[in-house]
Structure 1
Amino acid sequence: MEQRTVLVVLFDGVQSLDVTGPVEVFTGATHCLDDADGAHRGYAVRTASMDGAPVRTSSGLTLVPDSALADAPAPDTLLVPGGTATRSPDPELTAWLRVHGPRARRLVSVCTGAIRLAEAGLLEGRRVTTHWAYCDKLAKDHPGVEVDPEPIYVRDGHVATSAGVTAGIDLALALVEEDLGRAVALTVARHLVVFLRRPGNQAQFSVQLSAQTARREPLREVQQWITEHPADDLSVGALAARARLSPRHFARAFQTETGLTPGTYVERVRVEHARRLLEDTSDGVAEVSRACGYGTPEAMRRAFLKALGTAPAEYRRRFHPGPAPATAPGTSTTHPHR
């Protein structure tokens, strides 16, 4: 198998991690394959700026490209990172993308790199995402683009877009898994000490980040307790006792300060924890349900259907192709109608 060329576009004001994160993933995959059999497979990663000159990143680092864009090899994957420079138009780069973008087998953006692709007319009619702070701008400036502010990355045909910064690593790992298989992607993830990959439909914020942090210390401690002990008794009465408040006072104060009822917060934490276990372990559905505080696998199934529109067993199959771990008797694996 010949190496696939990944061309990363550089420009002044680029976000350095938008570049280096995916580059580390793609080069890591290549090293993994080279170490396995000594053959040169995987990816040939190249960087290029408009004129071939070094660029200064938004954090002040200087990156030296391999070449000017005019001299760069035709890419299999064209990757456009984000950065402060994307807040202003760049007619020269936009013109280059408009001509060369359609020639790539796969178009990828990290963070606000989606703005550059949209300016070049490459996202029309596509479902995309970008950094949460710029989703409204992208949607307003380009009404022909369907902007989804929730996921960390979105795949729509040959176009793949991701949210900010570290989400580019998740997307790159997903692309490596698609190209070279799960084993290679897992090896790279282990070297980088990250999850194999967060699923693309995972929210840009975890429950803890999306909910407000309580101002009062007892309530903040309860929030942390819920996160660290999803299998414990997390009823309003038990949580109120931990906060040393009456159940009624606790429920009212918790919702006022976090924006969520205690029950909703607990349910979201448990679903998030269950998703991670299903993605990253081989534990059976029954075992996962116990670890996440669900009384039965059926209770977890109902929670998944409500939150994600799919059953736990079907959700796991997206991340573990092949025979799935055994489910508890009576636990349905049928994908719900949508």
Structure 2
Amino acid sequence: MSKPLNVAILAFPRCQVLDVTGPAMVFEAGNDALGKAHYKVHILSAEGGAVQTSSAVAMLTRSVKELPPSSVDTLLIAGGDDSGLQTLVADEAVRKWAVKASKGARRYGSICTGTFALAHFGLLDGKRVATHWSACGTLAERCPDVAVDTNALFVNDGRLWTSAGVTTGIDMSLEMVAADLGNAVAHVIAKRLVLYARRPGYQSQFSPVLNAQSHADAPFAELIHWMRENLALRLDVPLLAEKVAMSERTFLRKFTASTGETPAHFVETLRLDQTRNLLAAGMSLKEIAARTGYSTGAQLSKAFDRRFGMTPLLFRELHCRGQAA
């Protein structure tokens, strides 16, 4: 019987607790789904013992000295407060261990601002990465040789995996498990963790619904949610204006000012965002068109190509292989 694969998650004082526990839950859930220990998760820190996170939670960790770097299959570094990250990267013993572990590991990476530790350790040069939206500009400025994807939930570049932060560490870890054990197991894990959906890496850190709702005035936040749930309807200005009890002219002016998009463009954004999700789920173009308010698959394909520069079928081939399995 083969030994479990060692998954090492590196924590530090003031790290983000979900950056550690989210991936740990996914790998442990993989063991549960298989009914055997395929992974062995190690929560590590410089010296071991209790580590106080940035939340009101302390975690019990083991020292990196207790796990030989050559035994690590997957290494992930959590994100957290700047002060904690600075303490982490200033520890020469941790740096040597992390560099050695990453070079021998089948894969390595980070969650959230853990990318800054990878950068400090010289493990990002020439790579494409993701990090938390609030840190993208700083990372790009400090690391001009690194391609920072400001939108992606997570990025896989060879052996390197990086995620945008917090809950996206779960998405990234699910994708790792899917690569190891297949999509059927990943779907079981997602169901067990009561996740709304498995989110692919290409998805933006900001959904158009949440982004618009966060900026929208009170009458429009609920309307946007309703629009998202009723994409098959004819979502024109007369209907939308009626929903918020405004004249068409007033609605057009206020909605555009509130969201930064005209109603027509915003409706198309919602429809095409949902199209990407349904493509990943394996639904036919004809079915997707019916669900998202397009009269034909050809009409949908034309709009998709205009917005994303590729056909829906090419998008599915490039981004969604295996998602529907």
Q: Judge which range, 191-200 or 106-115, deviates more.
A: 191-200
- Per the alignment, residue 119 of structure 1 pairs with 120
| Aligned partner letter, 1:61 | V
Shift of 1:314: 3.8
- Per the alignment, residue 254 of structure 2 pairs with 253
User: Is the alpha carbon distance of 1:173 and 1:20 closer, same or farther for their aligned partners in structure 2, counting shifts above 3 Å?
Assistant: same
- Per the alignment, residue 101 of structure 1 pairs with 102
Number of residue pairs matched by the alignment: 316
Q: Which runs of 5+ in 2 are unaligned?
A: none
| Aligned partner letter, 2:118 | L
| Aligned partner letter, 2:210 | L
Shift of 1:110: 0.6
- Per the alignment, residue 288 of structure 1 pairs with 288
Q: Judge which range, 201-210 or 243-252, deviates more.
A: 243-252
Task: Assess if the C-alpha contact under 8 Å between 1:81 and 1:109 holds in 2.
Answer: yes
Deviations 1:188-246 (A, max 9, x none): 111011155211010001112222532242x3343232122111111123222333333
Does 2:45 correspond to 1:49? Answer: yes
**Aligned equivalents of 1:309, 1:28: Cα separation in 2:** 38
Does 2:73 correspond to 1:72? Answer: no
Instruction: Show the 5 A alignment for 1:140-159.
Output: 140-159=141-160
- Per the alignment, residue 298 of structure 1 pairs with 298
Judging by fraction of residues, say which structure has more helix. Answer: 2
- Per the alignment, residue 79 of structure 2 pairs with 82
User: Is the alpha carbon distance of 1:59 and 1:158 closer, same or farther for their aligned partners in structure 2, counting shifts above 3 Å?
Assistant: same
- Per the alignment, residue 240 of structure 2 pairs with 239
RMSD: 2.2
User: Is the alpha carbon distance of 1:216 and 1:51 closer, same or farther for their aligned partners in structure 2, counting shifts above 3 Å?
Assistant: closer
| Aligned partner letter, 2:75 | L
**Aligned equivalents of 2:178, 2:196: Cα separation in 1:** 13
TM-score, length-scaled by structure 2: 0.90
Does 2:90 correspond to 1:91? Answer: yes
Task: Assess if the C-alpha contact under 8 Å between 1:18 and 1:110 holds in 2.
Answer: yes
Shift of 1:169: 0.5
User: Is the alpha carbon distance of 1:253 and 1:58 closer, same or farther for their aligned partners in structure 2, counting shifts above 3 Å?
Assistant: same
**Aligned equivalents of 1:14, 1:59: Cα separation in 2:** 8
Q: Which runs of 5+ in 1 are unaligned?
A: 35-39, 325-338
Task: Assess if the C-alpha contact under 8 Å between 2:75 and 2:101 holds in 1.
Answer: no
User: Is the alpha carbon distance of 1:322 and 1:52 closer, same or farther for their aligned partners in structure 2, counting shifts above 3 Å?
Assistant: closer
Q: Percent identity?
A: 38
**Aligned equivalents of 2:254, 2:42: Cα separation in 1:** 54
User: Is the alpha carbon distance of 1:2 and 1:99 closer, same or farther for their aligned partners in structure 2, counting shifts above 3 Å?
Assistant: closer
**Aligned equivalents of 2:136, 2:283: Cα separation in 1:** 37
Deviations 1:296-335 (A, max 9, x none): 11122123223334433344455464999xxxxxxxxxxx
User: Is the alpha carbon distance of 1:193 and 1:320 closer, same or farther for their aligned partners in structure 2, counting shifts above 3 Å?
Assistant: farther
Deviations 1:149-188 (A, max 9, x none): 1000011111010011110000001000101111111111
Task: Assess if the C-alpha contact under 8 Å between 1:17 and 1:166 holds in 2.
Answer: yes
Task: Assess if the C-alpha contact under 8 Å between 2:285 and 2:297 holds in 1.
Answer: yes
**Aligned equivalents of 1:63, 1:316: Cα separation in 2:** 40
Shift of 1:274: 2.3
**Aligned equivalents of 2:218, 2:163: Cα separation in 1:** 35
> The residue matched to 1:88 in structure 2 has which SS?
helix
Shift of 1:275: 2.4
User: Is the alpha carbon distance of 1:100 and 1:320 closer, same or farther for their aligned partners in structure 2, counting shifts above 3 Å?
Assistant: closer
Does 2:55 correspond to 1:59? Answer: yes
| Aligned partner letter, 1:75 | V
Q: Judge which range, 99-108 or 174-183, deviates more.
A: 99-108
**Aligned equivalents of 1:60, 1:159: Cα separation in 2:** 31
- Per the alignment, residue 328 of structure 1 pairs with none
> The residue matched to 2:235 in structure 1 has which SS?
coil
User: Is the alpha carbon distance of 1:100 and 1:221 closer, same or farther for their aligned partners in structure 2, counting shifts above 3 Å?
Assistant: closer
User: Is the alpha carbon distance of 1:193 and 1:310 closer, same or farther for their aligned partners in structure 2, counting shifts above 3 Å?
Assistant: farther
**Aligned equivalents of 1:87, 1:254: Cα separation in 2:** 42
Does 2:124 correspond to 1:135? Answer: no
Task: Assess if the C-alpha contact under 8 Å between 1:86 and 1:112 holds in 2.
Answer: no
**Aligned equivalents of 2:56, 2:260: Cα separation in 1:** 38
Shift of 1:101: 2.4
Shift of 1:87: 5.3
